[in-house]
Structure 1
Amino acid sequence: MEDTGIGLWGVPLAIFAGAIRVSTPFIFVSLGETITERSGRINLGLEGTLVFGAMTAYAVAVMTGSPTLGVLAAMATGALFGTIHGWICKWPKVNDIAIGIAMMQFGLGLAFFLGKSFIQPVAPKLPSIPLGTWSAVPQVQAALNINVLFFIGAALALFLFWAFKNTRIGLILRVVGDSTDAARAMGINPDRVRLLATAAGGSLAAIGGAYLSLFYPGSWNEGISSGQGLMAVALVIFARWNPIGCFLAALLFGGAGALGPALQSVGVTQGYYLFYAAPYVLTLIILIATSSPTRSLAGAPGALSLTK
Structure 2
Amino acid sequence: MSETMPDSALITALIAMLGGAIRVSTPFMFVALGECLTEKSGRINLGLEGSLVLGAMVAYAGSFLTGNPWAGVFFAGCAGLVLGALHGFICKLPKVNDIAIGIAFMSFGTGLAFFFGKPYIQPQAPKLEAIHLGDWTGDPRLAQALEVNPLFFVGVALAVFMWWAFRNTRWGLVVRMTGDSAAAAKAMGVSVDLVRFIATAIGGFMAGIGGAFLSLYYPGSWNQGLSSGQGLMAVALVIFARWGPLRCILAALLFGAAGALGPSLQSVGISQGYYFFNAAPYILTLLIMIASARSKVAAREAPGELSITK
TM-score (norm 2): 0.96
Contact kept? 1:48, 1:105, Cα under 8 Å: yes
Matches within 5 A, 1:153-232: 153-232=155-234
2:124 — aligned with what?
A: 122
The amino acid that maps onto 1:250 is: A
Matched, 1:20 2:61: no
RMSD across aligned C-alpha pairs, in angstroms? 1.7
Contact kept? 2:21, 2:257, Cα under 8 Å: yes
1:184-224 Cα shifts (integer Å, max 9, x gaps): 11000000000000000000001100000000000000000
Q: CA deviation at 1:19?
A: 0.5
Question: How far apart, CA to CA, are the structure 1 residues paired with 2:270 and 2:81?
Answer: 43
The amino acid that maps onto 1:72 is: F
Question: How far apart, CA to CA, are the structure 2 residues paired with 1:138 and 1:149?
Answer: 23
Go from structure 1 to structure 2 and tell me whether the alpha carbon gap of 1:272 and 1:101 turns closer, same or farther (over 3 Å shift).
same
1:240 — aligned with what?
A: 242
Q: Greater shift after overlay, 292-301 or 213-222?
A: 292-301
2:89 — aligned with what?
A: 87
The amino acid that maps onto 1:230 is: L
Matched, 1:10 2:12: yes
Matched, 1:305 2:307: yes
Go from structure 1 to structure 2 and tell me whether the alpha carbon gap of 1:95 and 1:12 turns closer, same or farther (over 3 Å shift).
same
Q: What percentage of aligned pairs have identical amino acids? A: 63
Q: CA deviation at 1:302?
A: 0.6
What secondary structure sits across from 2:131 in the alignment?
Answer: strand
Q: Which runs of 5+ in 1 are unaligned?
A: none
Q: Greater shift after overlay, 154-163 or 4-13?
A: 4-13
Contact kept? 2:49, 2:230, Cα under 8 Å: yes
Q: Which has the higher helix share?
A: 2
Q: CA deviation at 1:159?
A: 0.9
What secondary structure sits across from 1:151 in the alignment?
Answer: helix
Question: How far apart, CA to CA, are the structure 2 residues paired with 1:246 and 1:293?
Answer: 17
Q: CA deviation at 1:9?
A: 1.0
Q: CA deviation at 1:307?
A: 1.5
Go from structure 1 to structure 2 and tell me whether the alpha carbon gap of 1:293 and 1:265 turns closer, same or farther (over 3 Å shift).
closer
Matched, 1:29 2:51: no
The amino acid that maps onto 1:179 is: S
Number of aligned positions between the proteins: 307
Q: Which runs of 5+ in 2 are unaligned?
A: none
Contact kept? 2:17, 2:261, Cα under 8 Å: yes
The amino acid that maps onto 2:17 is: I
Q: CA deviation at 1:272?
A: 2.5
Contact kept? 2:132, 2:147, Cα under 8 Å: yes
Among 99, 102, 108, the alignment partner of 2:101 is 99
What secondary structure sits across from 2:125 in the alignment?
Answer: coil
Question: How far apart, CA to CA, are the structure 2 residues paired with 1:303 and 1:115?
Answer: 37
Contact kept? 1:4, 1:266, Cα under 8 Å: no
1:68 — aligned with what?
A: 70
1:49 — aligned with what?
A: 51
What secondary structure sits across from 2:246 in the alignment?
Answer: helix
Go from structure 1 to structure 2 and tell me whether the alpha carbon gap of 1:6 and 1:132 turns closer, same or farther (over 3 Å shift).
farther
Question: How far apart, CA to CA, are the structure 2 residues paired with 1:298 and 1:272?
Answer: 38
1:215-261 Cα shifts (integer Å, max 9, x gaps): 00000000000000000000000000000011100000000111100
Contact kept? 2:292, 2:298, Cα under 8 Å: no
Among 283, 287, 290, the alignment partner of 2:289 is 287
Question: How far apart, CA to CA, are the structure 2 residues paired with 1:258 and 1:150?
Answer: 16
Matched, 1:113 2:102: no
Question: How far apart, CA to CA, are the structure 2 residues paired with 1:97 and 1:306?
Answer: 10
Matched, 1:38 2:46: no
Q: Greater shift after overlay, 269-278 or 235-244?
A: 269-278
